[in-house]
């Protein structure tokens, strides 16, 4: 049976997911280019064109499956290739490139938060009483954008390969320990997927989200917008 609600959610939320993961990956590529590695630029990955970053599973299948299950959509893009050997700063280059993605999402979320505050101010002043419902719907949608980008940032900052947090951690590690983490990455990716898929049994990620991510996101949302989730 045709589900018009699901189709509507796909048309609304998938573009938001795509743009959010696009700015994340483009930021990695831009930071790497500025640090001396032109790989991403040569491959055309320093762009806000989502088509350059699409991943068939992470950009489409995963968010659609989540929406179909009545869950908030989440996704990922093709990782931007970075030749870390070409970075000018071999100690902090890893950390700078790694942090660029989460920083882009946080910056975008904060910009959206400021817009939400402006729209909420407009509603309270009664300047556009005939558009209150429309503006309220816009605030709801923008709140989702804020939430999604903050989750993308915080999740990627977990210091576990291949997430960005492991790259940030590299700046504080010796060359020997970096090599150990590099070798671990081929295994920790599957461990990460396993933990996500079995969260209903282990509760590890649910605990992280409920105890750390949501309180942090709610605090920043309130500071920026003056509203509560």
Task: Please check whether residue 86 lies inside any domain of the structure.
Answer: no
Task: Please check whether residue 85 lies inside any domain of the structure.
Answer: no
Same-domain status, 126 and 73: no
Q: What percent of the chain has pLDDT over 90?
A: 53
How many Å apart are CA 44 and CA 159, to the nearest integer? 28
Residue 36 domain boundaries: 1-80
pLDDT tens for each residue of 171-204? 888 878 888 887 887 788 788 878 777 877 888 8
This prediction has a pTM of: 0.91
Same-domain status, 187 and 153: yes
Q: CB of 183 within 8 A of CB of 175?
A: no
Q: Report the Cα–Cα distance between both ends of the chain, in Å, rounded.
A: 34
Annotation marks residue 25 as catalytic: yes
Is the per-residue pLDDT at 157 higher than 90?
A: yes
Q: Which of 22, 25, 33, 178 is catalytic?
A: 25
Mean local confidence (pLDDT), 199-219 = 88
Of the listed ranges 21-35, 55-69, 111-125, 208-222, the one predicted with least confidence = 55-69
Residues 6+ apart with CB under 8 A from 38: 86
Same-domain status, 20 and 130: no
Radius of gyration of the chain (CA): 19
Nearest to 222 by CA among 91, 34, 214, 210: 214
pLDDT band, residue 16 (cuts 50/70/90): very high
Number of domains comprising the chain: 2
Mean local confidence (pLDDT), 117-134 = 83
């Amino acid at each position: 049976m045709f589900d018009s609600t699901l189709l509507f959610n796909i048309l609304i939320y998938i573009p938001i997911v795509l743009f959010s993961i696009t700015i994340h990956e483009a930021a990695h590529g831009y930071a790497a280019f500025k640090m001396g590695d032109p790989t991403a630029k040569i491959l055309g990955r320093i762009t806000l064109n989502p088509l350059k970053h699409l991943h068939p599973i992470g950009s489409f299948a995963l968010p659609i499956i989540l929406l179909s299950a009545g869950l908030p959509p989440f996704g990922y893009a093709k990782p931007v290739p970075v030749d870390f050997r070409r970075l000018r700063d071999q100690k902090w280059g890893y950390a700078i490139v790694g942090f660029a993605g989460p920083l882009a999402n946080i910056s975008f979320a904060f910009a959206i938060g400021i817009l939400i505050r402006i729209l909420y101010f407009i509603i309270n002043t009664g300047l556009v009483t005939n558009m209150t419902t429309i503006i309220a719907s816009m605030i709801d949608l923008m709140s989702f954008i804020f939430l999604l980008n903050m989750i993308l940032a915080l999740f990627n900052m977990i210091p576990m390969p291949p997430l960005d947090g492991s790259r940030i951690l590299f700046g504080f590690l010796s060359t020997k320990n970096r090599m150990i983490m590099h070798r671990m990455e081929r295994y920790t990716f599957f461990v990460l997927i396993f933990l996500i898929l079995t969260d209903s049994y282990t509760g590890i990620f649910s605990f992280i989200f409920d105890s750390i991510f949501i309180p942090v996101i709610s605090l920043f949302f309130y500071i920026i917008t003056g509203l509560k989730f």
